[in-house]
Amino acid sequence: MYLEIDEMERSTLTPLEQRLAGHLQPLYPDLDAVEFAQECLAHFGLSKDAPTPAPHRNLWDQSDVMLISYGDSLRSEREAPLRSLYGFLDAHLRDCISTVHILPFFPYSSDDGFSVMDYTTVNPSLGQWDDITNISRHFKIMGDLVINHCSSRSLWFENYKAGLEPGAGYFAEASPDMDLSAVVRPRTSPLLREVQTPDGERHVWCTFSHDQVDLDFRNPKVLLEFLRIIRLYLDKGIRWFRLDAVAFLWKIPGTPCINLPETHEVIRLLRLLIEHHSPDAVIITETNIPNRENLTYFGNANEAHLIYNFSLPPLLINTLVTGSCLHLKNWLMTMPPAQYGTAYLNFIASHDGIGLRPAEGLLSDWELDTLLSTMQRFGGRISSRTTADGESKPYEINISLWDSMRGTASHGPDQWQFARFMCGAAIMAALEGVPAYYIHSLFATENDEARVEHTGSFRSINRHIWQADDLEAALAGDTHHRQVFEAMRKLLNLRREQPAFHPNATMYTLHTGEQLFSFWRQSIDRRQSIFAIFNISDQPQTFNLSELNLILTDEWIDLVSGQAFENRVAQVTLMPYQYVWLSNRRVA
């Protein structure tokens, strides 16, 4: 039973207090929801009379392009890595990147930052809070809220083992005698870890690894800790919040412990507080799960502002190496347009691998096997997970995007690597949503085999660390790194000028055969239309302009090449992986 709020008490509450108490009641039914709501507001430094931001606001436009980078993806002996990162951004990317996702920059014990030891300090090997604040003055920053788990070497966990505060009661426990067979996990390691505490032997929950111990949000003290952490990040200039692995947040033995109603309630609660504190703040949920489950994290435009489009990477890479857009097109036609105030976050590559769970039900087992063997042929590795029945299944492909584009599934490596790579980047730039590019995709960094051998982790293959001077030399020389970097900057600058590429502009998928992937975008004010047509095969493909029903009174130009098309019934031939963006209005 909830501790109900009586009508007299309700009448004295502000709308914010009422809404907050409404979220807290189902999460903590044994607490006085009003008192706890007021405690949450105090921890967040938020007035109970804070004005409510208007709903369905688009906090982005076509100029928003995200870069994903570790704090030390670039290193120099002359300065801290975060300063090197800012220097590169300022010198080379100020005109084509709006937002920087700096992957966890806190002290950590494993998983390249995602085993956080201290949420409140910057890893001294990267820099300090002033470096983060400085970047935030020139770019929007997305920071990671590693909310599901923390390091087994954190003060919290050390205190948990000693029965001290803060930490005692902060971590999820379970008994080995419980039936946990339904629990969904992305790893093959044992779920429970045995530890000794003042109360005897306990078993803590470890969804990802035994160094990443899951926090117990059923304890209201854990929620309050994270409210203080979020407030600190806001004070330091972070406005975009990536909720890492949030789908696993709430644990109830006997259930799959993923996507539980309580998890969605926590996200709604965090959004309520964050947007009242900073109306320009944005929440992104990182939920590497099948597509239909992923879509639920939009809620009713009251949970995530943006969700990762996790099905895009495996489907787009599969499209480019098979020369068939059938599955990509069919999936795209099932995707609901994002409501105003929400948007998709599109990506092809990231610091993690290419997730395969989001391809479930979209690619057949045979097609997945073909994709896996093709990526292995190009130097990729395959990471696995354990299913509820104990079976080991492929979970993700670990490979650099550049190497994934070496060739095709049927013929292997070929001469079209650059064209294929840029075709994929251009598709992502044109789709509905905000595009996010991994820093190594801008440079076309190859597989880092040496780093895999050094760390023993397959994910390290796509986590190369560039020496800043070596990178500058590579971008100045006659290299594929320079070729890709210059082409990517040109592509992104072009994309940012087009109102029809606003993340919420209309998009319709076109039917132009298996080898031509096509869609139509129209700006929100309906003044600009763009027909984006991509040859996703290794053979020339032809289409007729008459198939597009171009408006005869408009002038049509390919934004990519600058070629004008006066003949509305002409045939157009695209070379392998060539693409056109036909627009009725060029925006200077």
pLDDT digits (tens, 9 = 90+) for 55-110: 999 999 999 999 999 999 999 999 999 999 999 999 999 999 999 999 999 999 99
Task: State the chain's mean pLDDT as an integer.
Answer: 95
Which pTM value belongs to this model? 0.95
How would residue 391 be classed by pLDDT, with cut points 50, 70 and 90? confident
- Residue 200, Cβ density class (10 Å: 0-12 exposed, 13-18 middle, ≥19 buried): exposed
Instruction: Say if residue 351 carries a ligand binding annotation.
Output: yes
- Catalytic site includes residue 469: no
As its CATH architecture, domain 506-583 has Sandwich (2.60)
- State yes or no: pLDDT of 586 exceeds 80: no
Mean pLDDT within 164-169: 97
Residue 322: half-sphere exposure toward Cβ, Cα within 13 Å? 22
Note the pLDDT of residue 187.
Answer: 85
Q: Is 179 annotated as a binding residue?
A: no
Distance between CA atoms of 304 and 342, rounded to whole angstroms? 7
Ligand-binding annotation for 78, yes or no, is no
Query: What integer is the mean pLDDT of 386-404?
Result: 89
Question: Domain extents for the chain?
Answer: 66-143+219-231+279-501, 506-583
Residue 390, C-beta contacts closer than 8 angstroms, at least 6 positions apart:
none
Q: Where would I find the H helices in 278-346?
A: 291-295, 312-322, 326-334
pLDDT digits (tens, 9 = 90+) for 516-549: 999 999 999 999 999 999 999 999 999 999 999 8
Domains 66-143+219-231+279-501 and 506-583 share a fold: no
Catalytic-labelled residue, pool 244, 448, 538, 558:
244
CATH of domain 66-143+219-231+279-501: 3.20.20.80
pLDDT at 587 over 60: no
**Cα separation, 357 vs 187, whole angstroms:** 12
> What is the four-CA torsion angle of 250, 254, 255, 258, rounded to 10 degrees?
40
| pLDDT confidence bin for 1, thresholds 50/70/90 | very low
Nearest to 585 by CA among 551, 545, 555: 555
Q: Is 345 annotated as a binding residue?
A: no
Q: Residue 558, annotated ligand binder?
A: no
DSSP characters over 240-278: EEEEETGGG----TTS--SS-HHHHHHHHHHHHHHHHH-
Question: Is the pLDDT reported for residue 9 higher than 80?
Answer: no
Nearest of 399, 333, 328 to residue 358 by alpha carbon: 328
d(CA 476, CA 488) in angstroms, rounded, equals 15
DSSP 350-383: -SS-EESGGGBTTB-HHHHHHHHHHHHHTT-EEE
pLDDT-derived band at 2 (thresholds 50, 70, 90) equals: very low
CB 426 within 8 A of CB 535: no
pLDDT at 8 over 60: no
Q: Is 502 annotated as belonging to a binding site? A: no
**What tens digit of pLDDT does each residue of 215-247 get?**
999 999 999 999 999 999 999 999 999 999 999
Q: How many of the other CB atoms lie within 10 Å of CB of 324?
A: 19
At residue 5, the pLDDT reads: 60
| Two structure tokens written together for 329 | 């097109």
